[in-house]
């Protein structure tokens, strides 16, 4: 009997549990509130939460708010909303790194008293110079051998606001000749006279992430600090901090840091500074613009938590960095929606079709299945009348070969309704076709002719009098995929056609009253979602989530 293979993190956890390293798995997601989360963060959220659930453990939500220069309450609230939407439940365990500033300060004092930390007078540039290179050892800071008493007094003065920003830092005293640059006396506290979103003006010194993070994990009882690969070289420092401050005795004890590969999507923008500039320049209408891949943007566009989870599952967990085609994310949302959503008719580039022999003023209701692939979605009543809207490209005055839709003299099936034959059309003064005229066969109700004649084309339609008029926004990649994400000067290669707005679209009345995030499949057009930001009952707006077809094929799993 085959068993499902475990990824390397699951294997490690099961080994630790069996050896008694810890009894209960306890994970956390620790974002810095300096921007909106993106699709890559979703992998970390779902991984950490999923492991806690899988092993009957706990999951904490913690904001690593140790850098007040970039952090905002706006970002805190957006992150909480994203994580709740993804379904990761922190229960009553919502924390902030700033909750522990007092303990961090006390631990810094402990390091000074042990001779493991000292106050430095060097500025940031000098610290970099003294640190050395990958091939050359660093040089000792001139302040490295200050007495414990002097360091304690200076650190107290730093806390009391007696020094300007950048004039003093507290450094860990480790090894300036270490082959690991992170261990060459890293800065663990700096002076920053900034108002903090959570603690106000109580502090003017703030801990560095590499010092704060392991202490936060230890205080909260975290067993597994799961992070991305760029922190692999920081792991010795993570363990050093915990051992020297007395939270554990050996690296193999909990909390344990484990690294996995980030999720990279092709031809997307995730860098916060780039998105910030796009927002400020008005190229996108906010951090949740549907062309971005922030979690808020994906939610607004109409992606579902289930589609994101499927995407993360397909990407897997590994130690090797790799890129994933954006088309796979689109595949996941199609897979999630195709059996869940009603398939409604909509004319996004409409022209009027008049059925000349249909009684004026008559409206009949046709029973239509909501989804031919899922009978459980039931049926709906769709109005049919003399005047309809159809897609402009469903009629051609002079069609090419193998065009089976409407043209003069041709008969088609009006989806779910009747056979209709084109008998004429009207043009405006510029030669544009404005109205198509047909006659219908009353005996063909339901789309089948009693005399057995066949038609090759089927087109969709919307009854004009009952149609919901709406705006539809068709999104493409924000990036010009042929040129790649970045120009040589570091600027973005933007796609000038990343959004097409269709103002006068007509949709069957089934969508009337739909609210933000409600979604539908528009027959032959794609999946669409009500825009929660701009849509109103009087003027609905629909965002195209994804088109119906793609050349993407899910790779086969290797045996």
Read off the pLDDT of residues 443-461 as tens digits, 9 standing for 90 and up. Answer: 999 878 778 888 999 999 9
Average pLDDT, the chain: 94
**10 Å Cβ neighbour count for 416?**
19
pLDDT at 556 over 90: no
Band of pLDDT at residue 549, cut at 50, 70 and 90:
confident
Query: Do the Cβ atoms of 63 and 48 come closer than 8 Å?
Result: no
Task: Note whether residue 27 is domain-resident.
Answer: yes
Q: Are residues 139 and 235 in the same domain?
A: yes
- Listed in order, strand segments (DSSP E) in 211-321 are 224-228, 256-260, 263-265
Q: Are residues 199 and 241 in the same domain?
A: yes
Task: Note whether residue 318 is domain-resident.
Answer: yes
Which residue bears the tokens 């089948």?
Answer: 448
Band of pLDDT at residue 415, cut at 50, 70 and 90:
very high
Mean pLDDT of 106-135: 97
Q: Which of 460, 491, 513 is the last residue of a domain?
A: 460
H runs (alpha helix) in 87-165: 101-113, 124-131, 148-159
Task: Note whether residue 29 is domain-resident.
Answer: yes
- Residue 547 DSSP label: -
Q: Are residues 67 and 151 in the same domain?
A: yes
pTM of the model: 0.90
pLDDT at 488 over 90: no
pLDDT value of residue 559: 40
Q: Are residues 412 and 518 in the same domain?
A: no
Q: Are residues 276 and 392 in the same domain?
A: no
Q: In what order do the strands lie in the sheet with 26-29?
A: 26-29, 58-63, 94-96
Full residue range of the structural domain in which residue 36 is found:
8-260
Question: CB-based contacts of 215: which residues, under 8 Å, 6+ apart?
Answer: 100, 103, 104, 107, 241, 242, 245, 247
Task: Note whether residue 3 is domain-resident.
Answer: no
Band of pLDDT at residue 2, cut at 50, 70 and 90:
very low
Torsion on CA atoms 445, 450, 455, 459, rounded to nearest 10: 0
Question: Distance between CA 97 and CA 67 in Å, rounded?
Answer: 10
Radius of gyration of the chain (CA): 31
Mean pLDDT of 235-259: 97
Mean pLDDT of 84-95: 97
Mean pLDDT of 49-63: 97
Which CATH number goes with the domain that contains 206? 3.40.50.620
Query: Do the Cβ atoms of 321 and 260 come closer than 8 Å?
Result: no
Pair of tokens at residue 519:
């979604």
Does residue 245 or residue 552 have the better pLDDT? 245
Backbone angles phi, psi at 469, to 5 degrees: -85, 130
pLDDT at 523 over 60: yes
Band of pLDDT at residue 554, cut at 50, 70 and 90:
confident
Diameter of the chain measured on Cα atoms: 104
Band of pLDDT at residue 4, cut at 50, 70 and 90:
low
- CA angle 540/546/548 to nearest 5° reads 110
Band of pLDDT at residue 1, cut at 50, 70 and 90:
very low
| Residue from 366, 309, 369, 320 nearest 341 by CA | 369
Q: Are residues 25 and 171 in the same domain?
A: yes
Mean pLDDT of 147-176: 97
pLDDT value of residue 280: 92
Query: Do the Cβ atoms of 64 and 97 come closer than 8 Å?
Result: yes
Does residue 323 or residue 409 have the better pLDDT? 409
pLDDT at 17 over 80: yes
Task: Note whether residue 2 is domain-resident.
Answer: no
pLDDT value of residue 294: 94
Q: Are residues 325 and 209 in the same domain?
A: no
Which CATH number goes with the domain that contains 487? 1.10.1160.10
Mean pLDDT of 358-382: 97
Pair of tokens at residue 387:
């005047």
Q: Are residues 375 and 472 in the same domain?
A: no
Q: Are residues 104 and 70 in the same domain?
A: yes
Band of pLDDT at residue 263, cut at 50, 70 and 90:
confident
pLDDT at 555 over 80: no
Identify the three-state secondary structure at position 416.
coil
Q: Are residues 229 and 143 in the same domain?
A: yes
Query: Do the Cβ atoms of 334 and 311 come closer than 8 Å?
Result: no
Report the share of the chain in percent with pLDDT over 90.
87
Pair of tokens at residue 267:
């031809």
How many domains in the chain? 3
Question: Distance between CA 495 and CA 100 in Å, rounded?
Answer: 45
Mean pLDDT of 317-336: 92
| Residue from 448, 353, 478, 456 nearest 401 by CA | 456
Does residue 489 or residue 145 have the better pLDDT? 145
Q: Are residues 408 and 477 in the same domain?
A: no
Q: Which of 214, 236, 260 is the last residue of a domain?
A: 260
CA distances from 276 to 74, 270, 273, 286 (A): 14, 10, 5, 9
CA distances from 497 to 88, 473, 500 (A): 36, 12, 7
Query: Do the Cβ atoms of 395 and 351 come closer than 8 Å?
Result: yes
pLDDT value of residue 272: 85
Q: Which of 221, 238, 260 is the last residue of a domain?
A: 260
| Residue from 506, 525, 501, 349 nearest 433 by CA | 349
Band of pLDDT at residue 271, cut at 50, 70 and 90:
confident
Peptide bond before residue 217 is cis, with ω within 30 degrees of 0: no
Task: Note whether residue 1 is domain-resident.
Answer: no
pLDDT at 19 over 90: yes
Lowest mean pLDDT among 109-113, 234-238, 443-447: 443-447
Query: Do the Cβ atoms of 335 and 308 come closer than 8 Å?
Result: no
pLDDT at 551 over 80: no
């Amino acid at each position: 009997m085959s068993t499902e293979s475990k990824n390397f993190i699951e294997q490690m956890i099961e080994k630790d549990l069996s050896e008694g390293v810890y009894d209960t798995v306890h994970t956390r997601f620790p974002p810095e509130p300096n921007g909106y989360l993106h699709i890559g963060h979703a992998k970390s959220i779902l991984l950490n939460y999923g492991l806690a659930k899988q092993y009957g453990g706990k999951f904490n939500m913690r904001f690593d708010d140790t850098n007040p220069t970039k952090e905002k309450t706006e970002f805190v609230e957006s992150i909480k909303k994203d994580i709740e939407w993804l379904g990761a439940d922190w229960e009553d365990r919502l924390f902030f790194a700033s909750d522990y500033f007092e303990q961090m300060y006390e631990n810094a004092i402990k390091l000074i008293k042990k001779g493991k930390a000292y106050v430095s007078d060097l500025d940031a540039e000098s610290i970099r110079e003294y640190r050395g290179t990958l091939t050359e050892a660093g040089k000792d800071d001139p302040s490295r051998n200050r007495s414990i008493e002097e360091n304690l007094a200076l650190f107290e003065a730093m806390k009391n606001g007696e020094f300007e920003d950048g004039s003093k830092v507290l450094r860990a005293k480790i090894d300036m000749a270490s082959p690991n640059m992170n261990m060459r006396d890293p800065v663990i506290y700096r002076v920053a006279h900034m108002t903090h979103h959570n603690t106000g003006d109580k502090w003017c010194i703030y801990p560095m992430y590499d010092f704060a993070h392991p202490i936060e994990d230890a205080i909260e009882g975290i067993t597994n600090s799961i992070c991305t690969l760029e922190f692999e070289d920081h792991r010795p420092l993570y363990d050093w901090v915990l051992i020297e401050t007395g939270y554990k005795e050996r690296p193999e004890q909990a909390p344990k840091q484990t690294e996995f590969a980030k999720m990279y999507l092709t031809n997307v923008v995730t860098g916060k500074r780039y998105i910030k500039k796009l927002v400020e320049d008005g190229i996108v209408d906010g951090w949740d613009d549907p062309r971005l891949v922030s979690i808020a943007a994906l939610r607004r566009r109409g992606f579902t938590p289930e589609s994101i989870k499927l995407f993360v599952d397909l990407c897997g967990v590994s130690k090797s960095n790799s890129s994933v085609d954006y088309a796979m994310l689109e595949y996941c949302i199609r897979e999630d929606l195709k059996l869940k959503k009603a398939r409604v008719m909509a004319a996004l580039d409409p022209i009027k079709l008049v059925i000349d022999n249909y009684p004026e003023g008559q409206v009949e209701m046709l029973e239509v299945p909501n989804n031919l692939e899922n009978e459980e979605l039931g049926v709906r009543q769709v109005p049919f009348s003399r005047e309809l809207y159809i897609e402009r490209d469903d009629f051609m005055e002079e069609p090419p070969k193998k065009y089976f839709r409407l043209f003069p003299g041709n008969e088609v099936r009006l989806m779910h309704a009747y056979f209709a034959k084109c008998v004429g059309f009207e043009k405006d003064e510029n030669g544009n076709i404005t109205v198509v005229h047909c006659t219908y066969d009353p005996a063909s109700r339901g789309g089948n002719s009693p005399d057995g004649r066949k038609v090759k084309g089927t087109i969709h339609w919307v009854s004009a009098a009952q149609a919901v008029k709406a705006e539809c926004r068709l999104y493409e990649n924000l990036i010009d995929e042929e040129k790649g994400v970045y120009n040589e000067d570091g600027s973005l290669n933007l796609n000038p056609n990343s959004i097409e707005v269709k103002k006068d679209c007509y949709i069957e009345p089934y969508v009337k009253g739909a609210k933000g995030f409600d979604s539908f499949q528009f027959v032959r057009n794609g999946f669409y979602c009500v825009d929660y930001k701009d849509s109103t009952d009087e003027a609905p707006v629909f965002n195209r989530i994804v088109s119906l077809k793609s050349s993407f094929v899910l790779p086969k799993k290797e045996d």
